[in-house]
Structures are given as structure tokens and as C-alpha cells.
A and B are shown apart, each in its own frame.
Chain A
Amino acid sequence: MSQSYDRGLIEDFGRWREFSAGMWAWVFHKFTGWVLIAYLFTHISVLSTALPAADASAAVIANGEDIYTQTLHGLESIVIVRFLEVGLLAVAVFHILNGIRLLLVDLGLGLEQQDKSFYASLVLTGAIVVASVPTFLSGAF
């Protein structure tokens, strides 16, 4: 049977000092979700340069002089964009790992360990992001 906990009003962020691990997980999952859907709209906008690029000649495309390639290379040459990509990775990895945690809880697994699995999601996200920094920033400076 479904059963809900009385967690109080998380939407009242003035209570943040009282928040437990599960409530922080809820806040982080919402925040990372908002970032990811906002990014998806931005991502498709940038990739839409493929529409005019598809009309370019074979030689222009082969030389990477089409607007799609030029736009992506232009963005990747900006250092702040590289750091934003690291931030996007952090957001995506946390949303994935915490999402697995939520799916398991919905399947009835790990509810009693939900605080520990939240901390594990945070630590693993940090480790993956730190390990990825050299790849994401290579050639940026």
C-alpha cells in the first residue's frame, strides 16, 4: 500500500536548516531537473544550425566551414563554456544517480537506506566530475 511521510513543506525554503538528507535529495533533484530541461531547449536551438548547414556544399562541409561546425567550435573555444559543461556534467550525473536511487525506492528497495544512498550519489557525482575535468578542459587554455 502507498504510504507517505509527513515531511512538512519543503517548498518553504526558509526551513532549510531543518532539512533532512531526503529533503535535500528532493531539492537537488528538482534543481538539476530544471537545469536539464532548460539545457535541452538550448541544446536543440544550437543544434538547429544543422538545418542551414545541410544546404552547404560538400567541400564546405568537408573543410568544416559550415555554420554548424563553426558555431560548435566557436562555443567550445570559450573557456566559460567549458566550465559550464563541467557543471552540466555534475548536474546530469547527480540526476542520473539520484534517479536510480528513486527508481529503486519506488520498487520498494532501499527505503531504510535512502539517506546513505543520497550521500553515495553525492560522493560518486563528485568523484566522476573531478575525474572528468581534464577531459572537459583539455585545449581550453
Chain B
Amino acid sequence: MAERYSSFSRGGLAWFLQRITAAFLVVTLAFHFFLLHFYNHAPEITFAGSMGRMEVPAYWLTMVLFLGTATFHGVNGVYNALVNQGISGTPKRVAKWVLIVAGVALFVQGLRVSFALAGGSLL
């Protein structure tokens, strides 16, 4: 078997999800930048224009999955960075729960924004 190197211990669910979300985010983040800076230009973004995009179910679903995976990947990445710094015991538990609460709050708020932009078409 070929020798392999990884910065994380293998087998953990968080380790696996960090990489699955990474593969998804490589595509969606590039798409997001391209669509909203090159195809549409950021200074020309309007509520009506955003609404027009978010009313398309496939686009809305892609954006919600983008938000969910980015939130998990980012919050789990911060947790990994803190663990790499060497936190343990109570600070580690506090960091874990603060990050979980912040991540859930971010996702819920983003979901509310997505519904506001999708108008009544998805409610």
C-alpha cells in the first residue's frame, strides 16, 4: 500500500465531512464568485435581481446547500485550528459549543434571508 500523509486522524465523521464539504465548496464558491462578480456585477445587484435568481428552486437549493456546507466547513475549521493550537479540557468544550451555537445561528439567519429573497414562491 502506498504511503500516505494526512494532517488529520482518519476515520472520524468530522474529518470525512470536512473533505466532502470542501469538494462541494470548491465548485460552489467558484460559481458564486463568477456569477455575482463577472456574469452579474456586484455594484449592480438589486433586491429584484436577487429575488429573480432565488425564485428558481434549483438555485435556491444550491445556495442553501452552499450556506450549510460553508458554515459547517468554516466552523469545523475554526475548531480544528483551535485544537491544533493545543486547547483541551473546559476551553475545548466551551469552544465546541460556542461554535455550534454560532454555526446554527448563522445557518438559520441565512435560511431566513433565502426565504425573504425567494418571496412567496417557496413558502
Contacts and interface: CB of A to CB of B under 8 A. Distances in A.
Interface in B37-57: 37-38, 41-43, 45-48, 50-51
Contact of A135 (B41, B50, B84): B41
Interface in B52-100: 67, 70-71, 74-75, 77-78, 81, 84-86
A11 B84 contact: yes
Interface residues of B, number: 48
A124 interface: no
The main secondary structure of chain B at its interface with chain A is helix
Contacts, number: 122
A10 B26 CA distance: 26
A108 B4 contact: yes
Interface residues of A, number: 49
Interface string A45-59: 001101101101000
A64 B48 contact: yes
Interface string A107-141: 01001000000000000000000001001101100
